[in-house]
Amino acid sequence: MAVRPITKLGDPILRTVSRKVETSEIASPEVDDLIRDMIDTMFDARGIGIAAPQVGVGLQVAIINERNHPYPIINPRIIKHSLRSSEDEEGCLSIPAVFGMVRRPREVTVMYVDAKGKQHRKKVTGLLARVFQHEIDHLNGILFIDRAKTVTEKSRP
């Protein structure tokens, strides 16, 4: 178990497009360690998702915390999204104490590969759809503040 330092706004890796994980790298000790450490780091920071650039690694790997069950998504991409959108407040472990209202499609279909290399196709809605989109944005160098209509600073209790 290892909690890695979280990169913060201003670190160029957060603005870099992450590279795809090669099939030969999936289930390698490096990628498995990365996944384990990302889960530890996410729980330590009380996040509901985390992307590899947030621990300083430019690979297309993210963790989704679905009802306290974290799982990795590798090389994810959104293949379909609803026309209906919803607006909700977002924050980011890399931009502490900053929150903003972000409008996103309410429902998305995502393709990704799991830690064993198995391909998944998953349709998600609501908060889960928001988390998937937020994390996939990270892998493309996009932050929620780029999409937010308004951004406010507040300290967490």
Catalytic positions are 135
Nearest C-alpha neighbor of 78 from the set 39, 144, 129, 119: 129
**Beta carbon nearer to Zn ion, 18 or 26:** 18
Q: How far apart are CB 56 and Zn ion at their closest, in Å?
A: 14
Q: How many residues make contact with Zn ion (CB under 5 A)?
A: 1
- The enclosing H or E element of 31 equals helix 29-44
Please give the Cα distance from 140 to 135 (Å, whole number). 9
Pick the piece of the chain touching Zn ion (CB under 5 A) from 25-33, 70-78, 89-97, 103-111.
Answer: 89-97
Please give the Cα distance from 114 to 34 (Å, whole number). 13
Please give the Cα distance from 108 to 110 (Å, whole number). 6
Q: How far apart are CB 82 and Zn ion at their closest, in Å?
A: 22
**Beta carbon nearer to Zn ion, 25 or 77:** 77
92 binds Zn ion (CB under 5 A): yes
**Beta carbon nearer to Zn ion, 57 or 92:** 92
Q: Coil, strand, or helix at residue 88?
A: strand
Q: What residues line the site for Zn ion (CB under 5 A)? A: 92
